[in-house]
């Protein structure tokens, strides 16, 4: 199967933010403009993670807002109207009803995280209703332990323990996100990624630490995930997705070679 290169976009109160260490969130753009650009680039897939504290947006900064977007679902609806590539969406998913609404609003996959800690039946119920192919688990970790609630709460599980549980319960994919590398441009956590890739029999997406195109190449070559994801690099470098894809091609990574308009 072809390897994937996935932009991962963090949203807060309806705007794209640059995240660093899960604590600093700098507003950098309008999600509708960005999703149109990604669609033009024919990206393999897009992951949107909404890190807003509430499902209703704080509209005190109306100058930055999409006027029709007052909630996560409103924004998702607007995004899905402007996107022509696979879309995964997560943030604040607590129930199977939440999952259903996200899928109805146009997402192809739903990203689960904290909700699985608050309700230990959520994943198994979701798999039964929606199927594994519609579900991605975001595993936020630091110092080998899994965290939830935007990295504020430490779980009792190590990364390998939690990923094993997720696989047994039927998750379709694992998005492995290293909190300590968030926004740091220090490269991926190759050791942990390799461990999980070798341990599970489902796709693993690596996230956290990409600073240049070589980081993508190194991660594929050294850890062999199904996909690599990144955020900041796709916001701050001109035609970054195209150049990243070309770099992967030149390194003989088996990546999808279709490109959009640049």
16-75: pLDDT as tens digits: 887 666 666 768 778 888 888 888 888 999 999 998 876 555 544 444 444 446 788 989
User: Is 0.85 topped by the overall pTM?
Assistant: yes
Do 73 and 103 contact (CB within 8 A), yes or no? no
Cβ neighbours around 35 below 10 Å, total: 25
Domain 4-250 annotated CATH 3.40.630.10:
no
Cβ neighbours around 60 below 10 Å, total: 9
Q: Where are the domains of the chain?
A: 4-250
Do 39 and 78 contact (CB within 8 A), yes or no? no
87-123: pLDDT as tens digits: 999 999 999 999 999 999 999 999 999 999 999 999 9
Closest listed residue to residue 88, CA positions, set 229, 256, 260: 229
> Sign of the CA dihedral 188, 48, 120, 70?
positive
- Range list of H helices, the chain: 31-40, 72-81, 96-104, 115-118, 122-130, 159-169, 190-199, 213-223, 233-236, 240-250
Cβ neighbours around 143 below 10 Å, total: 10
């Amino acid at each position: 199967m072809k390897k994937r290169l996935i932009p991962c976009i963090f949203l807060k109160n309806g705007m794209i933010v640059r995240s660093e260490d899960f604590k600093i969130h700098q507003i950098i753009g309008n999600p509708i403009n960005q999703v149109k650009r990604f669609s033009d680039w024919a990206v393999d897939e897009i992951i949107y993670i909404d890190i807003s504290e509430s499902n209703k947006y704080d509209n005190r900064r109306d100058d930055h807002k999409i006027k029709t977007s007052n909630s996560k679902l409103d924004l998702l609806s607007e995004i899905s109207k402007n996107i022509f590539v696979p879309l995964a969406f997560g943030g604040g998913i607590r129930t199977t009803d939440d999952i259903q609404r996200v899928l109805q609003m146009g997402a192809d996959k739903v990203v689960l995280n904290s909700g699985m800690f608050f309700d230990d039946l959520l994943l198994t119920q979701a798999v039964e209703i929606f199927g594994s192919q519609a579900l991605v688990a975001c595993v936020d970790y630091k110092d080998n332990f899994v965290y939830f609630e935007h990295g504020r709460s430490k779980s009792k599980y190590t990364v390998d323990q939690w990923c094993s549980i997720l696989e047994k319960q039927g998750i379709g994919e694992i998005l492995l996100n290293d909190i300590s590398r968030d926004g740091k441009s220090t490269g991926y956590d190759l050791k942990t990624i390799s461990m999980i890739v070798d341990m599970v029999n489902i796709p693993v997406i690596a996230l956290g630490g990409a600073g240049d195109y070589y980081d993508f190449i190194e991660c594929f070559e050294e850890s062999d995930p199904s996909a690599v994801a990144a955020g900041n690099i796709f916001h701050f470098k001109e035609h970054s997705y195209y150049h990243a894809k070309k770099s992967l091609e030149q390194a003989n990574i088996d990546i999808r070679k279709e490109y959009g308009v640049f």
